[in-house]
């Protein structure tokens, strides 16, 4: 019995190692043998096997990132080329299908739905929170909005309000990168939630006659789109190259995206010829790579005046996160309260203010949780981030034993930072989400 089992095992192994020879009567045909499909669209390839009883077809894409296939239905995923194979189970029959996936084309309606959530209305505010001027922008990276540099300029501008179609907005006074000659700037919107989607960039040169769309907020009216074409793909003015286009734009479109039919940004709408019909110009989006990443500044540093002088009474509420010098919260009031929260032992909160004359600074603060008050402090730093003075603990004589922090100093005209930070001494969890209140007066 064992002998027959051994013989049967040898036969099975032999058949697996040396498969059946190809049957000349068997044939596999696919139609078509080459397919071009748009991303997100599908096409069906038909396979027919002859000489095989009840054939079972096995489909496979060699690059599923470009295209997938299920039972002969090929679906484009992203632009590129791949090969789809089909085999017949139990035979050596095999055929290849060449697949080319092109970019998805959008009509105006679909393109607007896809791109508009990434397009921003940018309103420039003065030190009273009033809108002085407006422009447009769009999201290029997480936490970054591109606009024109000239949109941010203005004698009264101290802050930018960046708003999106979903109702979210943020006030920011930080430029991450900019180039005045290219008229491009990147605003920091890292504190906004939820983050708007990022638009795709296409830095290759557009063709004259190519259809384009301009999105933005002309004269402060947000969520608009106009259609046109590239009138000239290389106009050089004052040594700088632009795309000329004829989609209707006006004041407020500046900084908005110019998109192709694939929903990709090809340019940044920048300016137009006065008294000329639709002679509009955009900076090619590839110029964004030329922005100097080291040129980080407050918006106010490229404006006049540099920062508003604190005046009047009012409260300042900390906006998280603000633990970086260039993300400091602005102190607008000469007399008021600062409301803040420490998220943990390592949390640092920074506030910035400007004084135009020799000024006496008076700060008095404490945690809402009295036991934490001895374990926090604050200090005044100059524009070079050098410390000038630190708070001193003061124990109340009223009998409640509460420790307060006080700081009094006099500074010369200039820009200064108030830095608030916990001091170690308790368990790390003791500092989590603790509120503090600092009274201040500038005289």
pLDDT band, very low/low/confident/very high, at 7 (cuts 50, 70, 90): very low
Please check whether residues 247 and 300 belong to one and the same domain. yes
The pTM (predicted TM-score) of the whole model is 0.59
- Reference 165, options 112, 111, 227, 108; nearest CA is 112
pLDDT of residue 22 exceeding 70 = no
pLDDT band, very low/low/confident/very high, at 321 (cuts 50, 70, 90): low
Query: What's the token pair of residue 104?
Result: 């998805």
CA atoms of 180 and 196, how far apart (whole Å): 26
342 within a domain of the structure (yes/no): yes
* DSSP-derived secondary structure for 104-164: PP--HHHHHHHHGGGEEEEEEE-TTS-EEEEEEEEEEETTEEEE-HHHH--TT--EEEEEE
My answer on whether omega of the bond before 305 falls inside 30° of 0, hence cis, is yes
Residue 131 neighbours by CB distance under 10 Å: 11
Give the model's pLDDT for residue 4: 46
In CATH, what number is assigned to the domain containing residue 415? Answer: 2.60.120.380
pLDDT tens-digit series, residues 189-214? 887 867 789 999 999 999 999 999 99
148 within a domain of the structure (yes/no): yes
CA atoms of 306 and 302, how far apart (whole Å): 7
pLDDT tens-digit series, residues 152-177? 988 788 889 999 998 888 888 888 88
Q: Give the range of the structural domain holding residue 243, as residue numbers without chain letter.
A: 105-306
Q: Which residue has the tokens 């008021």?
A: 336
pLDDT band, very low/low/confident/very high, at 256 (cuts 50, 70, 90): very high
Please check whether residues 374 and 342 belong to one and the same domain. yes
Give the model's pLDDT for residue 402: 81
Identify the three-state secondary structure at position 249.
coil
Please check whether residues 98 and 157 belong to one and the same domain. no
Task: For the chain, give the percent of residues with pLDDT over 70.
Answer: 88
| Best mean pLDDT range from 20-29, 58-67, 340-349, 425-434 | 58-67
3 within a domain of the structure (yes/no): no
CA atoms of 145 and 175, how far apart (whole Å): 10
| Boundary-marking domain end, from 265, 287, 306 | 306
Q: Pick the range with the lowest mean pLDDT from 48-57, 288-297, 334-343.
A: 288-297
The average confidence (pLDDT) of the chain is 86
Bridge partners (DSSP) listed for residue 237: 240
Give the model's pLDDT for residue 294: 45
Give the model's pLDDT for residue 14: 45
4 within a domain of the structure (yes/no): no
Mean pLDDT of 21-46: 89
- Reference 276, options 319, 234, 306, 244; nearest CA is 244
16 within a domain of the structure (yes/no): no
Residue 135 neighbours by CB distance under 10 Å: 26
Please check whether residues 346 and 425 belong to one and the same domain. yes
Mean pLDDT of 410-419: 90
Please check whether residues 273 and 321 belong to one and the same domain. no
CA atoms of 427 and 435, how far apart (whole Å): 17
| Boundary-marking domain end, from 102, 119, 136 | 102
The better pLDDT of the pair 229, 10 is held by 229
pLDDT tens-digit series, residues 274-304? 767 789 999 999 988 887 654 444 454 444 3
| Boundary-marking domain end, from 81, 102, 123 | 102
Please check whether residues 155 and 77 belong to one and the same domain. no
Please check whether residues 162 and 252 belong to one and the same domain. yes
14 within a domain of the structure (yes/no): no
């Amino acid at each position: 019995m064992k002998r027959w089992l051994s013989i049967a095992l040898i036969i099975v192994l032999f058949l697996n190692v040396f498969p059946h020879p190809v049957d000349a009567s068997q044939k596999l045909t696919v139609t078509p043998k080459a397919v071009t499909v748009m991303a997100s669209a599908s096409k069906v390839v038909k396979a027919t096997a002859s000489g095989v009883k009840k054939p079972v077809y096995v489909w496979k894409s060699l690059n599923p990132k470009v295209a997938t296939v299920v039972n002969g239905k090929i679906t484009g995923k992203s632009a590129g080329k791949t090969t789809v194979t089909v085999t017949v189970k139990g035979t050596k029959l095999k055929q290849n299908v060449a697949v080319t996936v092109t970019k998805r084309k959008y009509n105006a309606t679909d393109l607007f739905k896809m791109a508009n959530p990434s397009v921003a209305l940018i309103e420039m505010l003065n030190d009273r929170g009033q809108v002085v001027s407006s422009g447009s922008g769009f999201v290029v990276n997480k936490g970054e909005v591109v606009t024109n540099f000239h949109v941010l300029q203005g004698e009264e501008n101290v802050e930018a309000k960046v708003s999106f179609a979903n109702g979210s907005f943020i006030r920011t006074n930080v430029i991450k990168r900019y180039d005045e000659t290219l008229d491009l700037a990147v605003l920091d919107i890292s504190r906004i939630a939820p983050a708007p989607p990022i638009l795709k960039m296409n830095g290759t040169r557009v063709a004259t006659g190519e259809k384009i769309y301009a999105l933005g907020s002309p004269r402060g009216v947000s969520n608009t789109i106009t259609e046109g074409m590239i009138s000239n793909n290389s106009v050089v003015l004052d040594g700088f190259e632009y795309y000329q286009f004829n989609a209707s734009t006006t004041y407020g479109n500046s900084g908005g995206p110019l998109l192709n039919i694939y929903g990709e940004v090809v340019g940044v709408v920048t300016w137009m010829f006065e008294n000329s019909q639709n002679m509009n110009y955009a900076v090619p989006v590839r110029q964004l790579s030329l922005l100097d990443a080291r040129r980080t500044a407050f918006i106010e540093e490229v404006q006049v005046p540099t920062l508003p002088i604190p005046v009047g009474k009012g409260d300042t509420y900390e906006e998280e996160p603000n633990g970086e010098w260039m993300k400091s919260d602005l102190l607008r009031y000469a007399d008021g309260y600062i409301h803040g929260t420490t998220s943990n032992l390592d949390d640092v909160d920074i506030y910035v203010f400007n004084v135009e004359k020799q000024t006496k600074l008076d700060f008095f603060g404490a945690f809402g949780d009295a036991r934490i008050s001895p374990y926090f402090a604050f200090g005044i730093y100059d524009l070079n981030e050098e410390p000038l003075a630190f708070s001193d603990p003061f124990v109340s004589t009223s009998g409640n034993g509460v420790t307060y922090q006080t700081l009094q100093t006099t500074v010369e005209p200039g820009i200064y930072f108030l830095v608030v930070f916990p001091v170690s001494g308790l368990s790390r969890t003791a500092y989590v989400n603790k509120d503090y209140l600092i009274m201040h007066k500038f005289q």
